[in-house]
A and B are shown apart, each in its own frame.
Chain A
């Protein structure tokens, strides 16, 4: 089986400081990988490099495109990369307001990616928007409301609908449950788990919440100071952490 995403020796420096250094991994279709670590450990830098939001300094990010097989997304032209960004890739931001257009209705937000890839039939676009709002448990009669009239959890679900409407194969998530209260988090996780399984999505989830990766991720990567200190199956890393920092991380979780 060919991997969907192949990362080789990826590094990003901010001047003298390390953003992330020498990161390599493979991600296979249908696999969900979690990246955990404390604030400033380079998780978000890594994710932004992978998603093409930041140019990495060294390394390759090979993506298995539908048309031409494995392509290096770092060296491909910007139009191609941005095209991937609105078709095969999706990016779920921590703050919904970064990923949504707050002055455009929910339906318009969901429809934007469709229109960006050439949909020009209002009825079809609206039909798909209604379908996706239903899938993320937003009532159909909210379709013409603006996101600012939505609760935080609904905004996050709307952001997910907006991203998944074009049927991407790889989803990048940056703290998707950050800032939500626990019961809303639980429902969002449930929803994400369902969608990932149902659509066969691959996903890379950056979080500092170990419970989130326990539920969602198949594999786990632990980062510290820009370096990957431990990788492995999620349960293995969480139940039997090898690196001192992973042990600290796991033991720092509050037990209720």
Chain B
């Protein structure tokens, strides 16, 4: 532990990242460039999120990492261990106990409070990237608020699929100004983007940080006659019976039998601990989880 500075990054780097975060909070949805550092993990594994987490973390923080809602996947476990070793902070799987939550592509089901920070890992921060390849041009489009192209993408969806088929990384307009990529969270999570916690977005490879202050007005883009819909699988969780959570679909045998279960493992576990049992669930035992 003494071999590392607290939370791995040196203090100058943290200051640089904090400046970018403050600027991002002052201009919600604006992508602030920052000098992303080489991290001891490959790009695409959350280098942006890790740097933001390291910059906001203090010794008293309780840290939680989720990957697609789960606390127990490789990515989540390795990042949690990374900060256990380099910062010595306490870690948890319970959403309510955490003060800093780093997430890959989900927002926890349990509503966050104003003493929590949610850090997103962002692969591609530029919502216009696949429509306009030139970064010079997209920055100009952001500066001049020229967002017609974003609707062209939604138009293409409807003309090809009969409905807006974009189901994740669904573009949002922030406080009536910047159009932002909320990272590849399912559009089910979009309505939760207006929340009490501070939300920070870090893209390591692309060297961008952006942010949503608490209670920012975030509107998902849509058409008047094709309004935005936060969709999820029309099932209940097989383990805890929840009907209000985002579900993962698992194929459990060669015959293609499907099983739906909460993608937020902590939410599912705490519901089962409270006595909820789904169609294929068994009564909760503390050590069996």
**A144→B156 CA distance, assembly (Å):** 8
Assuming A120-B223, A121-B223, A121-B224, is B159 touching A126 (CB within 8 A)? yes
**A121→B225 CA distance, assembly (Å):** 6
Residue B160 interfacial (CB < 8 Å) = yes
Q: Are A115 and B156 in contact (CB under 8 A)?
A: no
Residue among B155, B158, B160 with the highest chain A CB neighbour number at 10 A: B155
Question: Residues 80-100 of chain A: 1 if any B CB is under 8 Å from the residue's CB, otherwise 0?
Answer: 001000100000000000000
Q: How large is the interface on B (under 10, 10 to 19, 20 to 34, 35 or more residues)?
A: 10 to 19
Q: Are A108 and B156 in contact (CB under 8 A)?
A: yes
Q: Are A116 and B146 in contact (CB under 8 A)?
A: yes
Residues of B within 8 A of A113 (CB): 148
Residues of A within 8 A of B155 (CB): 107-108, 111, 115, 122, 125-126
Q: Which residues of B, 137-178, contact A by the 8 Å Cβ criterion?
A: 144, 146, 148-149, 151-152, 155-156, 158-160
Q: State the interface size on chain A (CB cutoff 8 A).
A: 24
Among candidates B131, B144, B224, residue contacting A82 with C-beta atoms closer than 8 Å: B144
Residue A191 interfacial (CB < 8 Å) = no
**A126→B222 CA distance, assembly (Å):** 15
**A104→B223 CA distance, assembly (Å):** 18
Q: Are A122 and B144 in contact (CB under 8 A)?
A: no
**A112→B222 CA distance, assembly (Å):** 15
Residue B43 interfacial (CB < 8 Å) = no
Among candidates A78, A101, A107, A115, residue contacting B159 with C-beta atoms closer than 8 Å: A107
Question: 14 pairs across A/B with beta carbons < 8 Å?
Answer: A86-B148, A104-B156, A105-B159, A113-B148, A115-B149, A115-B151, A115-B152, A118-B148, A121-B224, A122-B155, A122-B158, A122-B223, A122-B224, A144-B159
Give the A-binding residues of B (Cβ under 8 A).
Answer: 131, 144, 146, 148-149, 151-152, 155-156, 158-160, 222-226
